[in-house]
């Protein structure tokens, strides 16, 4: 890959390469945009085939966080870290302490959190070296497990999408097909069950399916059959790239709204479901509850305040549909436009401020 060319194309601000020979740390911190504030994004630990793959993933994920944070209305920019290694066997205290020192050296430009392959316990070790970390243990004033909050955000976003498709956000009597019944989607199923929705579920783990069947009276189907079931709403809550050439012809739902990241395999698939008249809630808008929740820790965590902000996902999803209709766009493009417009407004405001002879002092 051509690093500077890739950075310039999407206007990345900074990439920091970190290594610590003693602990085996090999990390890449990518900071995409800090127009709205310090970059916030989690630390992913993964076995990459090549170093180029790791760089590419860090850049892609950092840019995604810029859009997610902007669309969520947070005063935060986008960044991400990838640590190259096997999270099952390569972790050690020295690695995360060393990584914490690198974060501290950025002096607040980047704030991390847990992600794929990292845990609350890892964040606690990072916290020994820096305050620029969220998602730490509740004993340190953190918010704890983010899954229930993420699920609630998906739930209210689903209601907003249902209102667009059906004229009402009442989900009682609606049939929702949920793909994947992990920590987030189990809590989503609970909200849907309490409102009176009918659930169809699938998961590669039999015990997860059985729990949803027993607790919520859900109907279980095979993992390959979930796309074609008769339902009102399809909720992808497992794999990415799940809206693709193979699955789209099977869909009978009028709404797609779920917790999974990167649901569209390609942008053209967003165009296809738009042409089919399916109301699609862009994933990074509807699943932003987790980042909204951990962002509240930066002000001293208050759960009631955080949940109030998460409820705003309803209005954010509704705004995406407004922009889509205003500009004649599929919703995945409308979500990008919503984020970009907010960032550009702040850029113009800052330029005007500087032109008037003022200075900007960053603060956390």
* pTM, two decimal places: 0.89
Do residues 176 and 231 lie in contact, with contact meaning Cβ atoms separated by under 8 Å? yes
Q: How far apart are the first and last CA of the chain?
A: 34
Contacts of 331 (CB under 8 A, 6+ apart): 270, 274, 279, 280, 281, 282, 320, 321, 324
Give the count of beta carbons closer than 10 Å to the beta carbon of residue 207: 8
Do residues 327 and 310 lie in contact, with contact meaning Cβ atoms separated by under 8 Å? no
Contacts of 152 (CB under 8 A, 6+ apart): 187, 191, 289, 307, 310
**Residue 14: which H helix or E strand, with range?**
strand 14-20
Output the CA angle 357-358-362, nearest 5 degrees.
150
Answer yes or no: 163 catalytic.
no
Give the per-residue pLDDT at 9. Answer: 82
28-63 as b/e: b if 16+ CB within 10 A: bbbbbbbbbbbbbbbbbbbebeeeeebbbbbbbbbb
Give the count of beta carbons closer than 10 Å to the beta carbon of residue 1: 11
- Distance, C-alpha 149 to centroid of its chain: 12
Tokens of 204: 């590669």
Give the per-residue pLDDT at 360. Answer: 54
Q: DSSP assignment of 306-343, as one string?
A: HHHHHHTHHHHHHHHHHHHHHHT--HHHHHHHHHHHHH
Q: Rounded CA gap, 41 and 44, in Å?
A: 10
pLDDT tens, the chain, 364 aa long: 688 887 888 889 999 999 999 999 999 999 999 999 999 999 999 999 999 999 999 999 999 999 999 999 999 999 999 999 999 999 999 999 999 999 999 999 999 998 889 999 999 999 999 999 998 988 887 887 788 999 999 999 999 999 999 999 999 999 999 999 998 999 999 999 999 999 999 999 999 999 999 999 999 999 999 999 999 999 999 988 999 999 999 999 999 999 998 899 999 999 999 999 999 999 999 999 999 999 999 988 999 999 999 999 999 999 999 999 999 999 999 999 999 999 999 888 777 656 676 655 554 4
Using N-to-C axis directions, what is the helix angle for 183-195 and 206-216, rounded to 10°? 20
Contacts of 79 (CB under 8 A, 6+ apart): 29, 30, 31, 32, 39, 40, 41, 62, 65, 109, 110, 111
Tokens of 77: 């920019």
List the catalytic residue out of 80, 91, 174, 319.
80
Bridge partners of 279, per DSSP, are: 255
């Amino acid at each position: 890959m051509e690093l500077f060319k890739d950075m310039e194309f999407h206007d990345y601000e900074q990439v920091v390469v970190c290594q610590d020979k003693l602990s085996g740390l090999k990390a890449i911190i990518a900071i995409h945009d800090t127009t709205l504030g310090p970059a916030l994004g989690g630390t992913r630990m993964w076995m990459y085939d090549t170093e180029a793959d790791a760089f590419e993933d860090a850049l892609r994920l950092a840019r995604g966080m810029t859009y997610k944070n902007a669309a969520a209305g947070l005063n935060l920019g986008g960044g991400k870290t990838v640590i190259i290694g096997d999270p099952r066997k390569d972790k050690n205290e020295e690695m995360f302490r060393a990584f914490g020192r690198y974060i501290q050296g950025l002096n607040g430009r980047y704030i991390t959190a847990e992600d794929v392959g990292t845990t609350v316990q890892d964040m606690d070790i990072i916290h020994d070296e820096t305050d620029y970390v969220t998602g730490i243990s509740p004993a340190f004033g953190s918010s704890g497990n983010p899954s229930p909050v993420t699920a609630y955000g998906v739930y209210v976003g689903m209601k907003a999408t249902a209102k667009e498709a059906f004229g009402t956000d009442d989900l009682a009597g609606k049939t929702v097909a949920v793909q994947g019944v992990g920590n987030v989607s189990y809590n989503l199923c609970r909200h849907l069950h309490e409102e009176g929705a009918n659930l169809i579920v699938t998961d590669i783990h039999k015990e997860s399916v059985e729990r949803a069947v027993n607790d919520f009276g859900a109907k279980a189907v095979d993992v390959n059959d979930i796309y074609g079931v008769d339902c009102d709403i399809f909720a992808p809550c497992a794999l990415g790239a799940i809206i693709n050439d193979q699955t789209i012809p099977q869909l009978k739902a009028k709404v797609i709204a779920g917790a999974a990241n990167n649901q569209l395999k390609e942008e053209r698939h967003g165009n296809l479901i738009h042409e089919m008249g399916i109301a699609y809630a862009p994933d990074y808008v509807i699943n932003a509850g987790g980042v909204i929740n951990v962002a509240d820790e930066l002000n001293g965590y208050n759960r009631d305040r955080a949940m109030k902000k998460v409820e705003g996902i309803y209005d954010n999803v509704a705004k995406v549909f407004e922009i889509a209709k205003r500009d004649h766009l599929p919703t995945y493009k409308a979500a990008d436009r919503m984020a970009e417009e907010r960032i550009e407004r702040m850029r113009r405001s800052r330029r005007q401020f500087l032109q008037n002879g003022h200075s900007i002092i960053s603060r956390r």
